[in-house]
Amino acid sequence: MSVVRIAASTPRIAEGERLWTPPPDAVGGAAVERFRHWVNARHGLDLCDYDALWRWSVDEVETFWAAVWAYFDVHATQPYERVLAARTMPGAVWFEGARVNYAEHLLRRESRHPDAPALLHASELRDGGELSWGELGRQVRTLATRLRELGIGPGDCVGAYMPNIPETAVAMLATTAIGATWAAASPEFGSRAVIERFAQIAPKLLFVVDGYRFDGVDFERGEQVAEIVAGLGGVEHVICLPYLVPQRAPQQPGAMAWADLLATAEPAQFEYEYVAHDHPLWVLFSSGTTGLPKAVIHSHVGILVEHCKLTAFHVGLTPESRPFYFSTSGWMMWNVLLASLLQGATPVLYDGCPIGPDPEVLWKLVERMRVTHFGTSPSFAQIMQKAGLRPCERYDLSALHMILLAGSPAMPETFAWFYEDVKPDLWVTSQSGGTEIASAFVGAVPSLPVYAGEIQTRLLGMDVDVWNEQGEPVVDQTGELVVRKPFPSMPLRFWNDAGNARYHDTYFQTWPGVWRHGDSTKINDRGGVYVYGRSDSTLNRYGVCIGTAEIYRSVERIDDVIDSIIVCCELAGGRFFMPMFVKLRAGLELDEAMRARIRGQLRADCSPRHVPDQLYRVDKIPYTLTGKKMEVPVRKLLSGWPLEKAASRDAMLDPTAIDWFVRFRADNHAMLTG
């Protein structure tokens, strides 16, 4: 294994510098390599490396996905008639005729290892524990049977206002086991945000909690639950888990207690509901920061083959793995975490604040739970880096194998921090995909090296390219991330989207038949990928497009700058205004010396075009609940949009963070409109 050691005093690491090379035994033992050899033998091919395997997977789309189906021994009560009806987007039909059940595959390991741990868990309210495969299966079958007795089945939607705890996993598995459609919102959401989401799908049953704890503070949710039930109107059953106050009776009139449903005996026989190729598995919701959240519908069959491929070939999970991805139950990473069960892995669930009240709580969890795959956001790593934390000196991280960065672009310095201050022989990866596909387009593969700031590769079966404005493929140039051929986990449709109009306009309006994802991206000549942020937040200055990620990378190298956000507002007469808002260390002021330092840093690292027109000090930077900076909502707000249309408070990590920008707009109305 080759590891580049990064000196702690190194001020800036070059983008694309090699940091890690997988050892030969890791390459040879990787599932993706075993699959390559299997494909070669089965199809008489000579695919010599990952790049050749990827090229085959996107050229021979139908053969590749049929191979995934066979390799993972997908169980269907009826075989599929064809893998793909036609290579069209939108409207691709996958594995038509097959009848499968996603939950059944997640619970496959139970019969072989009933006493082994299936889930590990901890939270601010609970010390932690484990749920065995046998107990997980028992609870799922018991709850699923009770749901059927309540009249829940195929065609019904079930909503959950629940945190990232084992009961939520049981509820999801029970719901999907009987063919009902799952949707979740974490209890951090306010009632309005939940109603905006769930009103689109009209759930017949709701799972709820009485409250939760975050950063040492207890939050009651009885009032919000009542508002949600009243706001939805058609909810027939409410099942309440007393999470904040154990043994508390349900506060919602007519609600049933979780414990009462699980107290009954496990059914003597249980049959999964095997559903058609186009049957809805779950609905995932987009962030909804600037409008009604998109209600994205995925299928059992599409998610099943995609998650088999993702968890085995790209995340490298095995039955010995213990993955932990910090997530709430309403983010697609929670669904991906539970997909670890497909490989017999033991996912670790955590409910609470990632940096408080104990700023090192997640590292303690990684040590205590013997986590092998740690998924977190680049912003979490930057907080650790700014605080000078060196987990390698404080914790036993011998089990830790992989770092999976998700949620926003990861800078080269973030990669380097993990190698210097966490562990020198880590596999550090970054991913990009999203809610719309419940997976990634580009991400990790265990047989390739790691380069600073670089996403390793395009994932198997994802025909990803980068196009310029003229629709021409470009290499080593920034352009639009596109997908040229269909893939199984693309949405069936959006809920209540007449004629698929919103679906079409979101992804296929620019280039008909080609998925335009909306990410500003670069692919280099070796296939490495850089994602610089959303295309709609790209800064256009003097005709030059600037990715915000490179600006943040530069300015946040200054120790006294904790966080920042930059936008570019179009003004009357074709003019523009590009302000930057910075959060400084406590007690510091944004004086002329600091302004000059920031401008000088940007000028030296980037170019004069990257220097903002004005700098302002703020106490908080607005983020979504999934950890994305709210650049587009801030730009819309400063451009004159009313707050209720520019941003949804209920979709924010800290709803008060937007208030400063509302006041700023009012105080600078003449400048922003004149």
At 509 the pLDDT is: 94
Domain for residue 433, yes or no? yes
Per-residue pLDDT tens over the stretch 233-289: 999 999 999 999 999 999 999 999 999 999 988 899 999 999 999 999 999 998 765
Residues 379 and 499 in one domain: yes
Rounded to whole angstroms, the Cα distance separating 392 from 389 reads 9
Per-residue pLDDT tens over the stretch 28-79: 999 999 999 999 999 999 999 999 999 999 999 999 999 999 999 999 999 9
Rounded to whole angstroms, the Cα distance separating 281 from 123 reads 28
At 538 the pLDDT is: 66
Q: Kindly state the tokens that stand for 116.
A: 């082994």
At 533 the pLDDT is: 75
Domain for residue 133, yes or no? no
Domain for residue 226, yes or no? yes
Q: CB neighbours (10 Å) of residue 468?
A: 12
Residues 162 and 295 in one domain: no
Q: Looking at per-residue confidence, does 581 or 549 come out higher?
A: 581
Residue 221 amino acid letter: R
Residues 352 and 434 in one domain: yes
At 592 the pLDDT is: 94
Residues 348 and 464 in one domain: yes
Residues 254 and 375 in one domain: no
Query: How far does Cα 548 stand from its chain's mean position?
Result: 20
Instruction: Out of 480, 515, 533, pick the residue that ends a domain.
Output: 533
Q: Looking at per-residue confidence, does 274 or 636 come out higher?
A: 274
Residues 319 and 445 in one domain: yes
Rounded to whole angstroms, the Cα distance separating 502 from 493 reads 9
Domain for residue 351, yes or no? yes
Residues 502 and 578 in one domain: no
Residues 489 and 364 in one domain: yes
Rounded to whole angstroms, the Cα distance separating 116 from 353 reads 28
- Tally of residues, the chain: 674
Residue 2 in this model has a pLDDT that exceeds 60: no
**pTM of the full structure:** 0.87
Q: Looking at per-residue confidence, does 407 or 445 come out higher?
A: 445
Number of domains in the chain: 3
At 10 the pLDDT is: 38
CATH, residue 96:
3.40.50.12780
Q: Which of 213, 246, 243, 168 is nearest to 353 (CA)?
A: 213
Residues 513 and 398 in one domain: yes
Per-residue pLDDT tens over the stretch 394-408: 999 999 999 999 877
Domain for residue 606, yes or no? yes
Domain for residue 112, yes or no? no
Q: Confidence class of residue 146 from pLDDT cuts 50, 70 and 90? A: very high
Per-residue pLDDT tens over the stretch 453-471: 999 999 999 999 999 989 9
User: Strand order of the sheet with strand 2-3?
Assistant: 2-3, 18-21, 450-451
CATH, residue 168:
3.40.50.980
Residues 99 and 223 in one domain: no
Q: Kindly state the tokens that stand for 407.
A: 């949620």
Residues 472 and 597 in one domain: no
Residue 8 in this model has a pLDDT that exceeds 60: no
Domain for residue 95, yes or no? yes
Q: Confidence class of residue 5 from pLDDT cuts 50, 70 and 90? A: very low
Residues 6+ apart with CB under 8 A from 502: 294, 494
At 291 the pLDDT is: 63
Which residues face 534 on adjacent strands?
519
Range of the domain at 166: 156-274
Rounded to whole angstroms, the Cα distance separating 184 from 256 reads 19
Instruction: Out of 533, 559, 589, pick the residue that ends a domain.
Output: 533
Rounded to whole angstroms, the Cα distance separating 583 from 574 reads 30
The mean pLDDT of the chain is: 92
For residues 365-380, average pLDDT:
94
Domain for residue 409, yes or no? yes
Rounded to whole angstroms, the Cα distance separating 218 from 125 reads 9
Instruction: Out of 533, 565, 600, pick the residue that ends a domain.
Output: 533
CATH, residue 548:
3.30.300.30
Residues 358 and 493 in one domain: yes
